[in-house]
Amino acid sequence: MRRFDYILVGSGIAGLYTALQAREHGSVLILTKGTIEECNTKHAQGGIAAPIGANDSPELHFQDTIAAGDGLCNEEAVRILVNEAPDRIADLVNLGVPFDTLDGKIALTTEAAHSVPRILHAGGDATGEHIEVTLSKRVRATDISVLEQYLATEIIIEQGHARGVRALNCRTGKIEEFAAKWVILATGGGGQLFKFNTNSEIATADGIALAYEAGAEIADMEFFQFHPTAFYKPGLPPFLISEAVRGEGGILRNINMRRFMYDYTPEGELAPRDVVARSIVYEMEKTGADHVYIDVTHLSRSLTTSRFPHIYRFCLDNGLDITKVPVPVAPAAHYMMGGVKVNTWGETSIPGLFATGETACTGVHGANRLASNSMLEVLVFSKRIMERTGAGNHNTAVRHSGNDEYRVLPRRQSPKSIALPDTPALQSLMWNEVGIIRNREGLKEAVQTLAAWHRLLPPPTDRASRELRNMVVTGRMAAEAALAREESRGAHFRFDFPQKSVAWQHHIIFHK
């Protein structure tokens, strides 16, 4: 068995940035299931939030993050996030990420629910691509071992301690074992759980399922952020039309070209994502349409093409010049707030096992993520994992906190007739019953069907069957938590319980 000090599972911003830090403390292996650059990071458009502007402060960024999180943020983690942000941005600059500048200074833009401009971007709306390419080049130039086409299938646990990873070599079909002092999950999110999503194909929530099977605690799975505006064209996967488009003045119109956001909220287009996404769903129902429009035709052509070159090009390739005509959009699943529960040092409830990035739940996003806080979260908490492990500290396992609710996945009655699942069936069930607007009836159907699928699935053999199993397990946690939480808060909206309730001011945590 090959041995390393660190194993990183995943090669998005979390895997690459952490690996570059880790090599200063020991030998490093990155396992990644596709090529090094297949990930969600590459698709990030808007940018990274950091309180570095003249009119900004960590306190203001803290307040905006807490407001978006709707009562469920871990305030200590948010303080760390905003205070350590400037140093972590400096790290990216030092690593060579070419952030856009204005008059010699880093340019900052605004996004919904940020009270001042604080979003750094690169290549206009190609921030994630610049980060991914810069970091992967850096990794390639070091002694970090990278194994592509290796799908992690199991965390090796001995005497309650994570000791390594089993992985499927997707080229040979063989399982191989790797030992490490520290195992760090950086496997990203789970947008592929839903029929309409903005995520890369790799986003099948593997790390959460692996950690759950190993015995780790999984938190906040009912909170999934749906992005309000993804390019809508039947037959084409949804393509994100960034938050920043509304930040720069984009207007939402219904199919009759009427501006409608002020019918729903005084904040108009700049309301938080969940409010905008639900307003769009209501407006689509009202007008009997499957989309609305985002309109930037009133903005100058040069602003649109220079700020959003990627979006402009994508739409043009699909027959739309967005400087001349409004763009059809509809909501799509986008970001997983829940994940492997970690403390402010990235430690999970299993000694030796850490998690960072979208697969982790640090608690900074609470019930709803503030736009562009996710890549910042990666940098801040990955660095802290290194401070912890680099100093030789042993993971002491996360302690249970106060009034959080601990659950196991319950047995459920099977629906009358049930077929073996496939990915499209799972994605449709999740979209229809665990989507933007939820209710008890639909969620009951979802938990029963998912539990039956979990029982029925044959042992996985290849990458596709393993990913499907991982999505069934994580889908179960999302649906069970959504059914249990009889209130509406942040990204979780229950039609039958539309109000927020003080009785639900706590987290739901699953363990085996």
Ligand X SMILES: Cc1cc2nc3c(=O)[nH]c(=O)nc-3n(C[C@H](O)[C@H](O)[C@H](O)COP(=O)(O)OP(=O)(O)OC[C@H]3O[C@@H](n4cnc5c(N)ncnc54)[C@H](O)[C@@H]3O)c2cc1C
CA distance 277 to 19: 36
CB of 243 to ligand X, least distance (A): 7
Enumerate residues 221-240 that contact ligand X by CB under 6 A. Answer: 240
Question: 5 vs 38, which CB is nearer to ligand X?
Answer: 38
Torsions phi, psi for 53 (to 5 deg) = -80, 160
Q: Is 364 in the site for ligand X (CB under 6 A)?
A: no
What are the C-alpha distances in Å from 35 to residues 17, 148, 202? 16, 5, 10
Distance of CA 54 to the CA centre of its chain: 29
Binding mask 117-136 for ligand X (x = CB under 6 A): ----------xx--------
Binding mask 398-437 for ligand X (x = CB under 6 A): ----------------------------------------
CB of 306 to ligand X, least distance (A): 17
Residues contacting ligand X: total by CB under 6 A: 43
Structure tokens at 4: 């390393």
Q: Is 109 in the site for ligand X (CB under 6 A)?
A: no
Q: Is 294 in the site for ligand X (CB under 6 A)?
A: no
* Among 150, 139, 142, CA closest to 178: 150
Distance of CA 136 to the CA centre of its chain: 20
CB of 66 to ligand X, least distance (A): 17
Cβ within 8 Å of residue 442, ≥6 positions away = 432, 433, 434
Q: Is 197 exposed, middle or buried (0-12, 13-18, 19+ CB in 10 A)?
A: buried
Give me the catalytic one of 88, 118, 273, 476.
273
Q: Is 375 in the site for ligand X (CB under 6 A)?
A: yes
What is the C-alpha end-to-end distance of the chain, expressed in Å? 28
Q: Is 13 in the site for ligand X (CB under 6 A)?
A: yes
* Among 457, 462, 459, CA closest to 175: 462
Q: Is 335 in the site for ligand X (CB under 6 A)?
A: yes
Question: 64 vs 358, which CB is nearer to ligand X?
Answer: 358
Question: 114 vs 489, which CB is nearer to ligand X?
Answer: 114
Enumerate residues 169-198 that contact ligand X by CB under 6 A. Answer: 186-189, 198
CB of 92 to ligand X, least distance (A): 12
Beta bridge partners, 292, equal 329
Sign of the C-alpha dihedral computed for residues 271, 276, 282 and 287 taken in this order: positive
CB of 381 to ligand X, least distance (A): 11
Distance of CA 280 to the CA centre of its chain: 21
Q: Is 365 in the site for ligand X (CB under 6 A)?
A: no
Cβ within 8 Å of residue 137, ≥6 positions away = none
CA distance 22 to 245: 36
Q: Are strands 28-32 and 2-9 parallel, antiparallel or unpaired?
A: parallel
Q: Is 246 in the site for ligand X (CB under 6 A)?
A: no
Alpha helices by DSSP H, listed for 4-104, are: 13-22, 58-69, 75-95
Question: 188 vs 442, which CB is nearer to ligand X?
Answer: 188
Q: Is 163 in the site for ligand X (CB under 6 A)?
A: no
Q: Which of 22, 31, 122, 355 binds ligand X (CB under 6 A)?
A: 31
Q: Which residue is nearest to ligand X (CB)?
A: 12
- From 25-33, 65-73, 253-261, 493-501, give the range in contact with ligand X by CB under 6 A: 25-33
Q: Is 440 a catalytic residue?
A: no
Q: Where do contacts with ligand X occur on this chain (CB under 6 A)? A: 9-15, 31-34, 38-41, 43-48, 127-128, 151-152, 186-189, 198-199, 202-203, 206, 240, 335, 357-359, 372, 374-375, 378
Q: So which residues are the catalytic ones? A: 273
